[in-house]
Structure 1
Amino acid sequence: MDLPCAAWTEHVEKKWNRLDVAEKRGFSTLTDINEMFCFGRSLITAEDGHMFSGVPEGYFVHKGCESAGKFREKGNSCFKSKDYSSAVLQYSRGVCYAPAGSEQLALCYANRSAALFHLCHYKECLEDINRALAHGYPSNLQPKLLSRKTQCLSHLQQQGAVQRKPTTGNRIELNVKDTQQDICLCFSSEKGRHIVATKTKKPGEVVFEDCAFSAVLIPGDGSSPDVNKKNAACTFGSEDRYCHRCLGHTLNPVPCAGCSYARYCGERCREQAWHGHHRWECPLGSELLAMGVLAQLALRVALTAGVENLKRAQDSLKDAPKQICKPKSERVCKTCCSAQTESAAEGTGCDTVKDFDLGCHDNTYTWVYSLLPHVEGHTASLRFLYAITVGMLYQRLQEACPPPPSWTNCVSVSDQHGSQSQCEDETAENMFWPPELSLLGVTALRHLLQLRCNAQAISAERVSDDHKGAVQASRQIRIATVVFPTLSLLNHSCRPNTSLSFSAPSQATASDGGIWVTVRASRAVHTGQELLHCYGPHFSRMKVRDRQRLLLEQYCFQCSCEACLQELQPGAEVSAADKLPPTHLRCPECANLLQDPCAYQVSRTEMEHSLQGTRDLLHQAQELIDADRPGQALQYLQQAATKAEHLEDTHHLQGQLFDTTARVYASMGNWHLAATHLSRSVAAIRSQYGEDSVELGQQMFKLVQLYFNGGEAVHALSVIPEARNLLARHCGPRCQELQELRAMEECLQGVL
């Protein structure tokens, strides 16, 4: 949820509409963020406070033994039906809702250890056993728990896991300073700040790595589980599966001691989150959830930064003009900007920026703070919503807890314009928060304005909890919103030359800063060429007009990337996303003849009606697959295939039909037919997304799995090389899919 919840948004909208013309005009003309914050705070009333307190009713984060007991009972029910994965998730909710020091907490830990044991996760099981004992697990029940502990130790010793050195997760261990030499930060009036390569990079090569300054996990459907709701037991969101600090996937999270929402992969992440930001966020848990991910991230960035980092960032912005210099390599400069002149002072030159330390995380806040807030790009009503929201969050912080130590010495800090805070007329009703500390709120508002254009979404593949077939239902979901200091400097292209892969550290390396992004060349990048990243609207997924509209609305710029310019030229060939089903289609009666198809024509209205009917049948089939009724699903798919006979095999809807049919046959154990249909889906993916797309690599990986399960070694080995190359290019050599491909390849080569 990027914006605040609907109830609060509507309340602030009414407040905006009640302003008189002069007040609206006065706020609309403000460009100074400090003045916007003060304006918003001056309008906050007791009615707003009452409304703000009532909004979080649907975001329950309080602990309680009764709630914990209900989740434990749900876990017991799943355990008895041998659905151990769901049992673990239910027990985890019980752990989070159980008050610290309560018997329920120890019972939930112990029960979760039993489910983990059945899933053969012995290390996690042992951790939960120790936690249960440490939290006062009843002595009369301890013998069974101690017996399970002995079995865990035995299994771990057999696996050699007790002495095994901790791994570093999926992140490639690079010397980040080395990659600093491969890129250069430049500036031009045309592009603003942008990054260019100083070394040629082949497809798949790492260009640079960047560590997130801060991140907030995006709640899923189960963000506010109501134990009294009938469907609460079957809804698990991202907050149930990932560490709220490092975003690592976790089977046995440990909870925050103060709220039922925040949970972590281990005690280390919990401790670091508490001292870094959560000790101030915890009392505002419900309000922060209701105010949305961006507001929470903006406040977290400000809390994490502190006043000393803010001072350095402000000083850096004041001295920014002095940091521009002529590049050492004229060749690099002249190739990274399309409108190059001899002098940067003339406004069209491209210059490098001094002191650009990629990976030097002592000054990364400077890059975060200097991101453009795009004040004029946001509507006045949206800026008003942000100002009131941050003002209320700041007021709640004052009421809930003492000020953060990193901000208590801000009395002498000025804003970036050199003037002292304009909110010094605040009363002393909160004696622990000096008036000058309103600078924290001003900084949070600045970040909120920035994040709408500069935040990065981290996605993950979510496999259905319900379907147990070989080809499971999966979809990409956003699990977090993150701000990366260096990645945020990359400009957009609808056809980028970089690919991103994200990784979280293991518990052993969690102290290194958390979430990392690895930027790789998705196609050849030459020395002096600008590095370009796609902000979301990709040329293969969206029409050019839709892309440009979305980028203008959300990111405040008119896209003029190479892909857009080519597609907007008169007579230019349209992109894959722009292609509509032609009115001259393949005729069902002559398509198989060795001659050109006839001029089989349908109207656009008939075409759309037919396509919608096919989509409806496909959706029904997918629901039947999830309900474990593959036979009925196949009947609907056959009807959909009949309706789609006039479409080319490479049409995206045909690709979806082939993919879903493959899932059905795989669930029936018919690997050959599943692979046959999935191979046709691969052809559609290749046509839609291109030969070098990550989507093609992911689909080919699924095809290898089907060939492997069906014992078709020759076919599997013929697909593995291309799948491996594509996944390595986009996801890196350590990704899970590549590890599985290597294991399958070794097994198949041994058979042959």
Structure 2
Amino acid sequence: MNLPCVQWQDHVAQKWRALEPKLKEQFTSLLEIDDVFRCGLSLLFCFPQECLDDIDRAVKNGYPSHLLHKLEDRRTLCFKHHSVHEKGREDDQNPASNDCKGSDTANSPSVGPLTVGICPQVVVDSTVEKGRHLVAVNRIAAGEVILTERPYSCVLLPGMEEVKGKVGRYGREREVLFGVEDRRCHRCLTETLILVPCDRCSYSRYCSTGCQQEAWEEHHRWECALGADLMAMGVMSQLALRVALKAGLKNFLLAREPIRDEHKECFNNHSSDPSTSSCGGSYLNVYNLLHHLNHHSPALRFMCAVTTATLYLKLSKAGPPPVSWSHTPHGPNKEGGDADWNAELWMLGSAVLQHILQLRCNAQAIVVLQDTGDSTNSPVQSNREIRIATAVFPTLSLLNHSCCPNTSLVFSTGVNVTVRAAKLITPGQEILHCYGPHSSRMVTQERRRLLQEQYYFLCQCEACSQQQQDMEEPRQQEPGTEGRDLGLLCIKCKGSLKSNIEIHHCHVILLFYPPPGEALRLLKKTLCQSGLILAEAHPLQGELADATARAYASMGDWNSAASHLERSAVAIASQFGKESVELGRQLFKLAQLHFNGGAALSVIPKVRRLLCLHCGPHCHELQELKAMEDCLQG
């Protein structure tokens, strides 16, 4: 949709008036048929509640009376499915059923309603140097949940290619791409194939009528007419507007006032319990996030101000203000409505500008593992981590950065984030997570430069300090670390091997194109050459071994693929650590290969332990491992 929503609606209205009466009647009936079609899909995929919602929508939109008996029959089926589903859920919650065995379940969240907040072993501390941050007061074991939180607000990223598919027309097939906006709810980010579109625009879609209504009341009522303009302004501007709309005038004015006695406790040292303080999901905590305005360039400040002014003008023409931003429960009165709305709109614009400046340093990317779709004609599935949304988490934003953090993050249930201890955390130790630049993926100078540019601080974490000290003191390089800081060097002449790296990567890229036999020949040649100049545990050796394993798997040679993947796992362990989630996912692929080859039971326990440690006991990889184990043991 290239036109703004209002112009688009006018365009559609003109086309509608030009239609013949018979065509109008035909297209009107398609609306009810679409609801019934969604209803059938919901029932097919065992979503009885969604099916009932679609039946109500079809009746509301005027479904033909002579076909209503079919909807009633389907409603009866839904109630039967719903009762069976509830009984199955009760059986699943019996103490006898466990997905993770041993000590892994001791530190996992209980099955049931999601508990949001900080664990009792952690408190919010505050110092002049670090500001507010989280500190452990008791011992926290590896894998234990530290924080579970829902975002204050989030925005789905448009245009992110997520799933590839094929559609046929006139006997021909063409490849099409489905973005995240086509497969995920625009409010809760839940992935679904049965989306409920907005009744007014052609972009926003939701997983249920409940999400649709909640989004409409919270922000979409005013975003709908500005859809194209908001997309042009960028994700940060849209997220800032959503935060302000959700907060409302009362909370904004309260946040601007000096901190009173009843609010001081959550800012003092050793404050916890975010559910009852500003350290939880309240707007006060979002409002008090640092914006580092004194570090922003004049050009950035000007751009943010112009963006906010443009949004101010667009909102002034969009209609009456939100009820949450009105002094009266029913909005401004008719006599001085424009004047009242101008005053409130001015404060709304002020709030939006405040949040645009804050989000540059405090926004959090929501990422998921997704099939790339490159393996349509291959038995090997390829996954990659993609960013699907940008959000602001009030408590997660309190965590300071470390290039080698003691926590790991995982996003589940749509938008919820869970922070787990990646290693043993002792009392008094600060809770840290990585803002992006990680010591296992990037050299010290590059990490520090990126952090300085975006977050305006010179990183002095343990990893940066240790590596800086090692660079100042001459030392013998450890095996497998050649070239990690200064680039690859020839072991004979000490010359740069940058050109060789590019050649090796080109050989790896060839793997994605048929035939796999040709790619395998090139990979074998590259492995022989790299073995002369690189240690076995070098990251590039791991990439080549992984690519070779994929080539063998594409040809159905599972044993050879598993052998090369084991070599890749050695390099992964050297680069990321023996307790890393990267090693867990690599061993998960090894378990899949051994399942086809025969020896998966020896690998599954270690994979289960690592994935439980970082991702929790209910991630889909562990469910697949459980199914594999049951199949092999049964």
Q: How does 1:104-143 map to 2 (within 5 A)?
A: 104-106=30-32, 108=34, 121-123=45-47, 130=55, 133-134=58-59, 135=61
What is residue 192 of structure 2 aligned with on the other side?
250
Alignment deviations for residues 118-142 of structure 1 (CA, whole Å, 9 cap, x no partner): xx63438956974785456789999
Q: What secondary structure does 1:718 align onto?
A: coil
Q: Distance in 2 between matches of 1:233 and 1:531?
A: 46
Contact 2:55 2:71 in 1 (8 A): no
Q: How does 1:427-446 map to 2 (within 5 A)?
A: 430=338, 433-446=341-354
What is residue 561 of structure 2 aligned with on the other side?
674
**Given the alignment of the two structures, is residue 297 of structure 1 paired with residue 205 of structure 2, yes or no?**
no
What is residue 442 of structure 2 aligned with on the other side?
542
Shift of the alpha carbon at 1:433?
1.8
Q: Distance in 1 between matches of 2:56 and 2:382?
A: 35
Alignment deviations for residues 530-570 of structure 1 (CA, whole Å, 9 cap, x no partner): 11111111110111111111011001111111111111112
Shift of the alpha carbon at 1:63?
7.3
* CA shift in 2, pair 1:359/1:619, >3 Å: farther
**Given the alignment of the two structures, is residue 736 of structure 1 paired with residue 626 of structure 2, yes or no?**
no
Shift of the alpha carbon at 1:105?
4.0
Shift of the alpha carbon at 1:725?
1.5
Q: Distance in 2 between matches of 1:460 and 1:481?
A: 12
Alignment-mate amino acid for residue 360 of structure 2: R
Alignment-mate amino acid for residue 471 of structure 1: V
Q: Distance in 1 between matches of 2:600 and 2:467?
A: 38
What is residue 688 of structure 1 aligned with on the other side?
575
Aligned mate of 1:608, from 498, 509, 518: 498
Contact 2:5 2:224 in 1 (8 A): no
**Given the alignment of the two structures, is residue 240 of structure 1 paired with residue 142 of structure 2, yes or no?**
no
* CA shift in 2, pair 1:57/1:376, >3 Å: farther
Contact 1:203 1:522 in 2 (8 A): yes
Contact 2:591 2:604 in 1 (8 A): yes
**Given the alignment of the two structures, is residue 447 of structure 1 paired with residue 389 of structure 2, yes or no?**
no
Which deviates the most, 464-473 or 443-452? 464-473
Q: How does 1:560-575 map to 2 (within 5 A)?
A: 560-569=460-469, 570-571=472-473
* CA shift in 2, pair 1:155/1:237, >3 Å: farther
Alignment-mate amino acid for residue 357 of structure 1: P
Q: What secondary structure does 1:502 align onto?
A: strand
**Given the alignment of the two structures, is residue 658 of structure 1 paired with residue 545 of structure 2, yes or no?**
yes
Name the count of aligned residue pairs.
Answer: 583
* CA shift in 2, pair 1:709/1:437, >3 Å: same
Q: Distance in 1 between matches of 2:529 and 2:33?
A: 55
Q: What secondary structure does 2:247 align onto?
A: helix
Shift of the alpha carbon at 1:299?
0.6
Which deviates the most, 716-725 or 402-411? 402-411
Aligned mate of 1:457, from 347, 365, 371: 365
Alignment-mate amino acid for residue 392 of structure 2: V
Q: Distance in 1 between matches of 2:160 and 2:531?
A: 37
Q: How does 1:217-616 map to 2 (within 5 A)?
A: 217-221=156-160, 234-315=176-257, 317=259, 323=265, 352=269, 354=271, 357-358=274-275, 364-409=282-327, 430=338, 433-468=341-376, 469-504=378-413, 515-569=415-469, 570-571=472-473, 578-580=484-486, 582-585=488-491, 600-601=492-493, 603-604=495-496, 607-616=497-506
Shift of the alpha carbon at 1:187?
1.3
Which sections of structure 1, spanning at least 5 residues, go unmatched? 1-54, 67-97, 326-350, 412-427, 506-514, 586-599
**Given the alignment of the two structures, is residue 194 of structure 1 paired with residue 112 of structure 2, yes or no?**
no
What is residue 516 of structure 2 aligned with on the other side?
630
Which sections of structure 2, spanning at least 5 residues, go unmatched? 13-23, 94-107, 330-335
Shift of the alpha carbon at 1:690?
1.1
Which deviates the most, 366-375 or 677-686? 677-686
* CA shift in 2, pair 1:562/1:299, >3 Å: same
Q: What secondary structure does 2:257 align onto?
A: helix
Q: Distance in 1 between matches of 2:240 and 2:184?
A: 21
Q: Distance in 2 between matches of 1:365 and 1:149?
A: 44
Aligned mate of 1:720, from 589, 604, 618: 604
Q: Distance in 1 between matches of 2:573 and 2:393?
A: 31
Q: Distance in 2 between matches of 1:64 and 1:653?
A: 57
Contact 1:183 1:196 in 2 (8 A): yes
Shift of the alpha carbon at 1:527?
1.4
Alignment deviations for residues 242-271 of structure 1 (CA, whole Å, 9 cap, x no partner): 111111111211111111111111111111
Q: How does 1:195-210 map to 2 (within 5 A)?
A: 195-210=134-149
Q: Distance in 2 between matches of 1:726 and 1:61?
A: 53
* CA shift in 2, pair 1:194/1:616, >3 Å: same
Q: What secondary structure does 1:517 align onto?
A: strand
Q: Distance in 2 between matches of 1:128 and 1:474?
A: 34
CA RMSD after TM alignment: 4.1
Q: Distance in 2 between matches of 1:58 and 1:231?
A: 32
Shift of the alpha carbon at 1:676?
1.9
Alignment-mate amino acid for residue 383 of structure 1: R
Shift of the alpha carbon at 1:437?
2.9
* CA shift in 2, pair 1:373/1:638, >3 Å: same
Shift of the alpha carbon at 1:293?
0.9
Q: Distance in 2 between matches of 1:99 and 1:281?
A: 31
What is residue 649 of structure 1 aligned with on the other side?
536
Contact 1:371 1:454 in 2 (8 A): yes
Q: Distance in 1 between matches of 2:368 and 2:457?
A: 28
Contact 1:358 1:486 in 2 (8 A): no
Contact 1:112 1:128 in 2 (8 A): no
* CA shift in 2, pair 1:720/1:354, >3 Å: closer
Q: What secondary structure does 2:561 align onto?
A: helix
Which deviates the most, 308-317 or 281-290? 308-317
Alignment-mate amino acid for residue 618 of structure 1: V
Alignment-mate amino acid for residue 305 of structure 2: A
Q: Distance in 2 between matches of 1:380 and 1:681?
A: 48
Contact 1:65 1:99 in 2 (8 A): no
Q: What secondary structure does 1:193 align onto?
A: strand
* CA shift in 2, pair 1:102/1:529, >3 Å: farther
Q: Distance in 1 between matches of 2:7 and 2:577?
A: 45
Contact 1:211 1:359 in 2 (8 A): no
What is residue 98 of structure 2 aligned with on the other side?
none
Alignment deviations for residues 35-86 of structure 1 (CA, whole Å, 9 cap, x no partner): xxxxxxxxxxxxxxxxxxxx966999957999xxxxxxxxxxxxxxxxxxxx
Contact 2:581 2:611 in 1 (8 A): yes
Which deviates the most, 133-142 or 688-697? 133-142
Alignment-mate amino acid for residue 613 of structure 1: I
Identity %: 43
Q: Distance in 2 between matches of 1:254 and 1:683?
A: 47
* CA shift in 2, pair 1:470/1:116, >3 Å: farther
Alignment-mate amino acid for residue 400 of structure 1: A
* CA shift in 2, pair 1:180/1:206, >3 Å: closer
TM-score when normalising by structure 2: 0.81
* CA shift in 2, pair 1:153/1:516, >3 Å: closer
* CA shift in 2, pair 1:613/1:57, >3 Å: farther
Alignment deviations for residues 396-438 of structure 1 (CA, whole Å, 9 cap, x no partner): 1110121011111299xxxxxxxxxxxxxxxx99456232431
What is residue 15 of structure 2 aligned with on the other side?
none
